Amino acid sequence: MYLGVKNILQLTVKLQKLSKKRRAELAATVFDRLRSEIGTQTTELQHINPYELLVATILSAQCTDERVNLVTPALFEKFPTVMEMSTASADDIFPFIRSISFPNNKAKNLAKMARQVVKNFDGRIPRTVKELESLAGAGHKTAQVVAGVAFGEPTLAVDTHVFRVANRIGLTRHARTPQAVESQLKSLAPPEEWTDIHHLLIFHGRYHCTARSPGCDTCVINNVCDYARRLTRLPKDRSGLDASRGRFFCATRGHYFDEADSVSDRYGTDQISCPRCGSMNIFRSSSGRTTRRIKDYRV
């Protein structure tokens, strides 16, 4: 039956609304379970005021919170307020943060940021995302963390953990950038829950749904997670393979081979394939394990 352009557009909108409704229901389930498992959390960056949080968050870019927490006590002892830091040069700040990633750039940014706060905001750390983004070293993620944690503004910062976990679970769809993940997550919950959602996904990604070895078997949301569901659908290990006949075994045609081809599956993930028949139903002869890979999400 021919639907016509208008009917196709109407059907597309209907399906999108249904998809969003289902994701909202999924989100409610996921966040309820994570709250029960993780509890109420906040940033692990040690700080006692907005100034210290801003500095620590700038330092945490592409660096672990643990490393930042090791260097900030001495830094804050030397520069206890933004006013003191505003009189420092990058060379003055560098020795305190030399073990942090990109210390030269971050030292320059901290010195400039402090001067901007004194000049443009009367020495007070601004509270809005837009104002915070005007400061050196404070990108969108940093601005959202500070605005949300220090001032209780409704924000939802997307770091590597939030990006990975939201996509793995299926809370977002076709979200290839942090901005897309942020927008879709915000549409699934009221603003007063955004900061809490940010921390729930961070802690889940940092300590359970890790990048390389997610603990799907013991996860409290494994029965509603898209990534865990797809893991259970991977082919089971095969026994009795003879590695001397070739590195790989094609289960579709029942033959061995050494040099594999590569194809992209429907999710856009590169998969090993048989050079003879193109099948992706391939196993490693030495271990009997499938070569199939599940689409993952990294930034």
Strands 248-250 and 255-257: antiparallel
> Which residues, in sequence order, are CB contacts of 181 under 8 Å at separation 6+?
158, 162, 163, 166, 167, 172, 175
256 φ, ψ (degrees, to nearest 5): -100, 155
Retrieve residue 278's tokens: 């193109």
Spell out a b/e string for 195-209, using b for 16 or more CB atoms within 10 Å of the CB, else e: bbbbbbbbbbbbebb
- Residues with Cβ within 8 Å of 36's Cβ and at least 6 positions away in sequence, in order, are 220
Burial profile 85-105: b = 16 or more Cβ within 10 angstroms, e = fewer: bbebebeebbebbeebeebee
Q: What residues are annotated to the active site?
A: 141, 159
| Cross-strand bridge partners of residue 282 | 250
Q: What is the DSSP letter of 127?
A: -
Q: Tell me the Ramachandran region of residue 267: left when phi exceeds 0, alpha when psi lies from -120 to 50, beta otherwise.
A: alpha
